[in-house]
Homo-oligomer: A and B are copies of this chain.
């Protein structure tokens, strides 16, 4: 019997597959399509203290094997997430990873403290890597010292384990990973989007109203995989890997490179059933490769 179970700080996952933050809302829409209890976990949309309307539209643009987005952390705000979205998710047997965003350290602390007390929130994912907001977001994720301090501050108040979401838009992602480890992070999630741009062919105007956007989808997978591999070489922190995952083979790649679990973002838009489909295919795929559990497979690329 193939064992898909994965144990991570705060998270007892039936399987290693979860939708990535921002690509699954608060689960409501996808719950019309399939039973969310099938998922390993759910990473909900970034939550900020106040309601945010996000950026002007257009907010998405297609690129070769990828897409750009500049949603700008639109979300109903902490109170609505606590009062409506999280309670609605309680009906499913699935741990929630709450994605926390903000402009100042105080914002992060406020959201982290409150949201970590929700019964079904089993871990936090601290979004220090959103490229689409003018303040906060990515600046926290590109300087090791700031990242370390923010991690400390959030750890101090959180009642559940804290995962830090790393930005790929850095010279040395390992130094950021090390810094958040020093700050007390329980795990890392990576990668957020690569900063990119598309122009309208006729006018030369940026297609995305925010001018630049975050690149995601299959195009970024080689970069994401390389970063997971590098970070795994230098730390034992659990890693939830993501970036361009679209099928079961991609999942195997991330696990091989050292991720302990895998999130699926953009691919949900292409195939809304992609997560349960991958979960269904994992046992056979593991078996074909000669493994009996996810944990056996994790990091195999480092053991060759």
A91 on interface, CB distance cutoff 8 Å: no
Cα distance, A198 to B225, chains bound together (Å):
7
Chain copies in the assembled complex: 2
Cα distance, A300 to B200, chains bound together (Å):
11
Q: Which of B197, B256, B304 contacts A257 (CB 8 A)?
A: B197
Cα distance, A290 to B253, chains bound together (Å):
48
How many residues of chain A get a CB closer than 8 Å to chain B's CBs? 46
Q: Which of B65, B169, B206, B297 contacts A171 (CB 8 A)?
A: B169
Task: Assess the A204–B300 pair: CB atoms within 8 A.
Answer: yes
Cα distance, A215 to B171, chains bound together (Å):
15
Q: Which of B196, B201, B257, B304 contacts A225 (CB 8 A)?
A: B196
Q: Which of B198, B226, B229, B300 contacts A222 (CB 8 A)?
A: B198
Q: Which residue of B lies closest to A202 (CB)?
A: B289
Task: Assess the A64–B219 pair: CB atoms within 8 A.
Answer: yes
Q: Which residue of B lies closest to A63 (CB)?
A: B222
A112 on interface, CB distance cutoff 8 Å: no
CB-CB under 8 A for A195 and B301, given A201-B253, A244-B64: no
Cα distance, A65 to B223, chains bound together (Å):
13
Across-interface contacts of A220 in B (CB, < 8 A) = 219
Task: Assess the B64–A218 pair: CB atoms within 8 A.
Answer: yes
Q: Which of B65, B194, B300, B301 contacts A64 (CB 8 A)?
A: B65
Task: Assess the A205–B171 pair: CB atoms within 8 A.
Answer: no
What 18 additional pairs, Cβ within 8 angstroms, besides A169-B171, A203-B304, A219-B219? A63-B222, A64-B66, A65-B219, A66-B222, A171-B171, A194-B194, A194-B223, A196-B222, A196-B223, A197-B225, A198-B253, A201-B249, A204-B252, A204-B253, A204-B301, A204-B304, A206-B301, A215-B223
